[in-house]
């Protein structure tokens, strides 16, 4: 039975703080990921690779499937490179509605009570499944689920969009505070790639 995070289970608030401490102390993070996206009326698409994160707000998703795909944040802009059409899309981080952005909290100031409401918890084969709604109404998703291991590692994140799309990430081989060169988070245009830049309004 799902329970309220702040009322029905007194130990859950302490558990949430343990997860927060696990990630808030980290300056860098590296994990392997499997990504699955299911859009309304569309078949499920799967991808995989390695994710590296570095405070503040830097992310690098190197895909092995499809090989060569890259999604990168330098803290100010987002860059998406798809090798199939040799195209680069650039946008300001604040203007992006990409549902991967919620994962940046892993190296931000993780605070479940501040970012989420209606937090519920239920047992999961991998540990505990937390279900929450964003406090802000200006986000492109309506629900986020986290599967947390007994070691306070976030092993899965499932994001439900307003259009009922599902974006699911499964993480393993987590490494806290690996040495990550700052150059990893600087985007370099691939030779001959076409750039499409969103300038905003």
pTM of the model: 0.85
Predicted local distance difference test score (pLDDT) of residue 189: 94
In the predicted model, what is the mean pLDDT of the chain? 88
Predicted local distance difference test score (pLDDT) of residue 7: 44
CATH number for 3-186: choose from 3.30.540.10, 2.50.20.10, 2.170.120.30, 2.60.40.1120: 2.50.20.10
Segments in the chain forming alpha helices (H): 10-24, 112-115
Which sequence spans correspond to the domains of the chain?
3-186
Q: For residue range 73-115, list pLDDT tens digits in order.
A: 998 899 999 999 999 999 987 766 555 666 766 766 788 988 8
* Confidence label for 143 from pLDDT (cuts 50, 70 and 90): very high
C-alpha of 124 from chain center: 20
Q: Which of 45-59, 83-97, 130-144, 185-199 has the lowest mean pLDDT?
A: 83-97
Please give the Cα distance from 25 to 43 (Å, whole number).
39
Sign of the dihedral defined by the CA atoms of residues 77, 98, 119, 43, in that order: negative
């Amino acid at each position: 039975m799902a329970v309220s995070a702040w009322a029905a289970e007194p130990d859950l608030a302490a558990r949430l703080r343990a997860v927060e401490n696990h990630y808030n102390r980290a300056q860098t993070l590296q994990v392997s990921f499997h990504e699955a996206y299911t859009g309304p009326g569309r078949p499920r698409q799967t991808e995989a690779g390695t994710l590296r994160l570095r405070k503040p707000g830097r992310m690098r998703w190197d895909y092995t499937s499809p090989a060569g795909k890259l999604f990168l944040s330098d803290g100010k802009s987002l860059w998406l490179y798809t090798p199939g059409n040799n195209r680069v899309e650039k946008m300001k981080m604040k203007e992006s509605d990409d549902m991967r952005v919620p994962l940046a909290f892993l190296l931000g100031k993780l605070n479940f009570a501040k970012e989420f409401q209606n937090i519920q918890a239920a047992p999961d084969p991998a540990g505990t499944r937390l279900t929450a709604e964003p406090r802000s109404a200006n986000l492109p998703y309506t629900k986020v689920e986290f599967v947390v291991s007994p070691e306070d590692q976030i092993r899965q994140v499932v994001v439900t969009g307003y259009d009922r799309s599902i974006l699911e990430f499964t993480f393993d081989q987590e490494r806290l505070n690996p040495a990550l060169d700052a150059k990893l988070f600087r985007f370099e245009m691939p030779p001959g790639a076409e750039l499409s830049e969103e300038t905003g309004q």
